[in-house]
Structure 1
Amino acid sequence: MAENPERPTLLELFFVFMRVSAFTIGGGFVMFPLMKREVVDDKEWISDEEMVDYYALGQSVPGVIAMNTATLIGYRKRGVPGALAAAIGMAAPSVVVILLVAAFLAPYFDSPLVQKAFSGIRAAVVALIVMALYKMAGTSVNS
């Protein structure tokens, strides 16, 4: 953790968002709980309210919600270099996985076993999205 949680290092931004991206499958709604835990609960870089605001902004601009949110948080904490560190951290695991899939797994996509695995993953993602929406609703309702 940085000596000053208000101003994380660029490497901290990179690794926090790389961890969020690496350990979630399913996009922005699935990443929200882990991202919140990392930047609000553990690192205390932003408040719950700021997290909801950045997430809403991330949804309102074109692009991937989690990437937009991470970039906004990185920008808020360290300006343009922070935005770049957060964005590269979010993208790095996906780029590595895509390259590995393209190189090694493409011939197996039509396998019944692979298709069943993806069916299970889709069901888990739906559950994670519902959980994230439930948690976000509690923070978003102010009255």
Structure 2
Amino acid sequence: MPIRISAVAYQSAPYHDMLALRRRLLREPLGLVLTQVQLAAERDQVHLALWYDDVVAGTLLLVRPDAAGTARLRQMAVTPPLRGRGLGVALVRHAETMLRRLGARRIALSARETVVGFYERLGYQVEGERFIEVTIPHLCMARML
């Protein structure tokens, strides 16, 4: 089945599909909610949606590069039945290409401890010590473009 990845507008219908996926996969299992303040802060971020069989099956937020050229990846998720098929890899690589065009020289992210290996396979390296974010262990990771 072919996939499609594209940026979607904040508050558009696909954005709300992505938001539902993020809530279901990233927040609800931890007993957390996304607040209106958190969502409003995403207005200027790039919202990437991955469609599989014309359904939003993946999501990734991109924070544009800062003055030093560092961009950030946030809130990545792929629906569980489709994991292990290269969709997450496609989503990250698409994001890297977009961020490179926006002037990024480095990409950083906070990875849940359980997915560090995924990012390591994509060339990201752990920077610093383990920390707790949204109630679970994370590690800072980064990659030069």
Report TM bin, short chain: under 0.3
- Structure with the bigger percentage of strand: 2
Q: TM-score, normalising length from structure 1?
A: 0.28
Which structure has the bigger radius of gyration?
Answer: 1
TM-score, normalization: structure 2? 0.27
Which structure has more relative contact order (CA 8 Å, sep 6+)? It is: 1
